[in-house]
Chain A
Amino acid sequence: MAEAHAAPAAQLAAHRDDQASKMGMWLFLFTEILLFGGLFLLYASYRAKYPQAFHAGGQALDLVLGATNTVILITSSLTVALSITALRRGQTVRCLWLLAFTVACAATFMLNKGIEWGAKFHHGLIPGSEHMARLPQGQSIFYGLYFAMTGLHGLHVVIGASVLLWVMLLIRRSKITGDDYAVLENAGLYWHIVDMVWIYLFPLFYLIA
């Protein structure tokens, strides 16, 4: 920024420490897992307290949409990984297409999520609504957790996709290249975490029935 950072390129290269940036990213990913960890803790307690309600709640969720979204996210994780390989081999265009596909997956995921939430809202399952309040105790908690956890996850999908878009821009401007791809790798790691959290959310909400 404004400071004495008009350093010559050679000096900047000497300061580059890809291992440090990867380490920083892993630490950050820990914090993301722990952020969700708080919610998983709530889930575990309430699940133990209201097993029947959670069973009933799980049955009411749309398994097809959930499974579709799982496939979409896993595929997108694959394409992110492939994009890194592509860039390292100097196939910039291929890399960009793979990233674009990943972002498209993210958009589709969010679209499905929107449809799913929309259906729930349509049935009166709106947080804070009269209908929610009148549900049996455990079910209201189930849906509360469902909205909180998939909502926070959806937020992470949006953030992750935005990061990938930004990375695409950097690649087009040759700020990220086959020799200097730590940023892409870190963005990819972040995307894997987003994917991984969903892999836990899916069985916990959709498959417990």
Chain B
Amino acid sequence: MPDSDARPIVSIRDMHKSFGHVEVLKGISMDVPKGGVVCIIGPSGSGKSTLLRCINALVPIDSGSIRVANFDVHSLTTDKERLALRREVSIVFQQYNLFPHKTALENVMMAPIYVLKEPRDEVRARAIALLKKVGLAAKQDAYPGELSGGQQQRVAIARSLAMRPEVMLFDEVTAALDPETVKEVLNTIRELAAEGMTCMLVTHEMRFARELADTVYFTDGGVIVESGPPAVLFDQPKADRTRAFLSQIL
């Protein structure tokens, strides 16, 4: 259970982001407590992916602030600082984005070896354990091209976990999967959440969000329209826009 008294591990204040002349995020504020699970829902193009990418410093923000653990994400400038941040917060993408020329095991091992400069044997043992954790011990020598979508996504999760992050970001990680394999991936995330990993998920799986989230954020047009515990947000939405979106999707 999240400890709501402690300082939030992710704290975003009035964050703005434009691409060219288009303002995609128009003042986002949110707090995620350590061990908390938040889900972000909203229509396509509302800036959900951009929000996650900002938290991971993949895109710079224009104004406002993002604080993750002890890092002021908005004022990181050097590669070294960004690397330090990325040890704390790791992102998993919709399209898995595994390295196609590396086996599942190598995919998991690469960043700890080349980025964190940790000893190979140690990393290898940890990577094998992580693959086992996501149910892919038997596939460690398979290349991404030989794995199903769900399997690739679980390798991608293991690859992120290998950095030992404090916060995991999931950007519609089941959107590209067929219904059967969605379950495998959701189970993996469910276990992570149960172990106390702080998770921020952009998702269209409303049942999953309802089950797992402490807080659900509904975003539209670059702002957070409404947020609250899933039972409240899903069953008694206050804003018309939330109601309209939920009636469409449920």
Q: Do A and B bind each other?
A: no
